Structure 1
């Protein structure tokens, strides 16, 4: 993601700026501990400082950024304590989303294609993107818009850990071993089983990430 690439005007500006900053954080271009300035971002994105500030304040509220009067905004450092807290919450929310979705609401052929691409790629960022698409597609079937929004906001925070681990940790150990079982449960319209497997999937990710963080 090139921070110098200007925002396209037809997109809702506030949303587009927020998403661009999220992309920069999750892609690792705005690394933990790095200062984030409104002026620099507004110049690089080709927008005024107002939507940039709104995006930064939103990310501060979501726990991605910190702010201090002297330094402005900085990307929060990664910490084992935060990771240990975030993963169980995300697991619980995604379990709830699955268990309250209509049975057979998903395109399983499309999900299997996404999972096949994930297993075939050796690029850690692409693997993360495909894993995100896999989970986002599942959650999109949930009719509860508020729950979907909560999951999306939490995934922004978790993505920082996922990507850092995928770049530096045991990438092969994070090859989504439960995805096929999750798809089989959906194929049987077993939402309770699929929800349980998704929870176990996130628990496995949490263990891998915490083990990696302990070596940093």
Structure 2
């Protein structure tokens, strides 16, 4: 899905690759962006109750977490910060200083529901089948698992209550990834196949019957 909205690029990048929830995304403030450490801290979320936006703690205690960002994510955030500062100077007194990373054009905080509506709008414009915003968390998890990231790290990144929740959620994905990991592990060792035995480049010959000759 290509989005022609530069001011949103960093937001979608974080949600797709780091799996932040929409309330966490809307609630992220610049004081929780650590440039040198290349990470963000999730310690606030915005929720809507009868169309009123309320600020509160994340979904659970473990949802309060620090999330590392990749180089591209940090680059997009820096560009977004510079763009936001220019807009703040342009608007002057009309700028609403919410302190949030992603805001409305006047600087006011985003509604979590707006993020969902915007995602649906971009999806329709791209001609994609219906995709829920929450599915981006599944995308983030699957990408991390496919990259060989430890299950515990994936759990901590997503803010799941335990790695068991992560494991159970992605039960259908893990076996395939495990097989891929097995193939990748074997591929690390150069070898040649000869009749009756496998010959490894490390100098150990292993027969098909399991015997070995140092």
Q: Please, what TM-score do these two structures have when normalized by structure 2?
A: 0.26
Q: Higher relative CO (CA 8 A, sep ≥ 6), structure 1 or 2?
A: 1
Q: Point out the structure with max Rg over C-alpha.
A: 2
Larger helix share, 1 or 2: 1
Larger strand share, 1 or 2: 2
